[in-house]
Amino acid sequence: MTTRGEEFSGLSVALTTPFNGDRVDYDLLGQQVEFQIAAGTTCVVPTGTTGESPTLSHEEHEKVISAVVEAASGKIKVMAGTGSNNTDEALRLTQWAANAGADAALVVAPYYNKPTQSGMYEHFKILAESVEIPICVYNIPGRTSKNIEPETIIRLAELPQITMVKEATGQMDQASEILASTDLTVLSGDDSMTLPLLAVGGRGVISVVGNIIPKDMISLIDSFLGGNIEEAQSWHHRLFPLCRDMLGLSTNPIPIKAAMALLGRDSGTLRMPLLPLSETEMNSLRSTLNAYGLL
């Protein structure tokens, strides 16, 4: 099955933004990109939820996108997070990403102000008609408080630059409706839902745990897409406890930054109002990583 954004099938990794005090550590950021290139990851995704985009200044947001594009050097695709609840701001960031050389833009549904479905459509339509790079619609109502209904996404699929959906609703019926009615590339927005979404026609995942185990996530996807269902199920069953127990400890990206530090791939501090894991949570994280064989 060929989908519209097929070149982004496989593993995309939502990068953390490494902070050193009040500043972004661009050296560490570059090392993250190099780590994913070496792993064979399809695409890196800076300035998304995992990248703490809500607390990046406008200037930092732009610089992080440009730094990741430069570090990628054409060796790995870059899908830059450019969403906002302000259409003008989302347009400016998406145009910046396109001009900086990003391969695509990840645009989250407008949050907090809760637009109507018509407002959602018009928001994405303005962006899609203003840039030439592909746009991935990021639907995560648990954070935005408003679902982009399947009918709206199906309507958005009529716009050529809308090529992908990052599906993080947890509703398989919604994903199935989109897949049955469009040729959009649907990517899982939840690591533990990767295999179920592949089973109904999804093409990959935009992953958080891929920051530490990209090759294992690639093995799961490749096994399924290669027709080895039992092997894909085996990978799912191995990965599921890690995804559940690590990512369930606290709000993303708090646990993944802590895990990266424990594994010698420090991603720096968190930016307020996010706080580090408690001592009890850190002990739980160590146990989870140890059970997976990472410590």
234 band by pLDDT with thresholds 50, 70 and 90: very high
CB-count exposure of residue 105 (10 Å: 0-12, 13-18, 19+): buried
> What pTM was estimated for this model as a whole?
0.96
**What values do phi and psi take at 289, rounded to 5?**
-65, -40
Query: Is 264 part of any domain?
Result: no
Q: Which residues are catalytically annotated?
A: 138, 166
**pLDDT of 267 higher than 90:** no
Query: Is 254 part of any domain?
Result: no
CATH number of the domain where residue 165 is located: 3.20.20.70
Average pLDDT, the chain: 97
**What values do phi and psi take at 129, rounded to 5?**
-90, 0
User: What pLDDT does 126 receive?
Assistant: 98
Query: Is 215 part of any domain?
Result: yes
Query: Is 17 part of any domain?
Result: yes
Give the model confidence (pLDDT) of 158-193 as tens digits: 999 999 999 999 999 999 999 999 999 999 999 999
Give the model confidence (pLDDT) of 134-143 as tens digits: 999 999 999 9
Q: Are 16 and 50 in contact (CB under 8 A)?
A: yes
Across 78-88, average pLDDT: 97
| Token digits of residue 113 | 């102000």
CA neighbor of 167 nearest in space, from 144, 146, 185:
185
Query: Is 73 part of any domain?
Result: yes
Query: Is 245 part of any domain?
Result: no
Query: Is 255 part of any domain?
Result: no
CA neighbor of 150 nearest in space, from 126, 179, 128:
179
Query: Is 263 part of any domain?
Result: no
Segments forming the whole domain that contains residue 23: 6-228
Tell me how many domains the chain contains: 1
**What values do phi and psi take at 180, rounded to 5?**
-75, -20
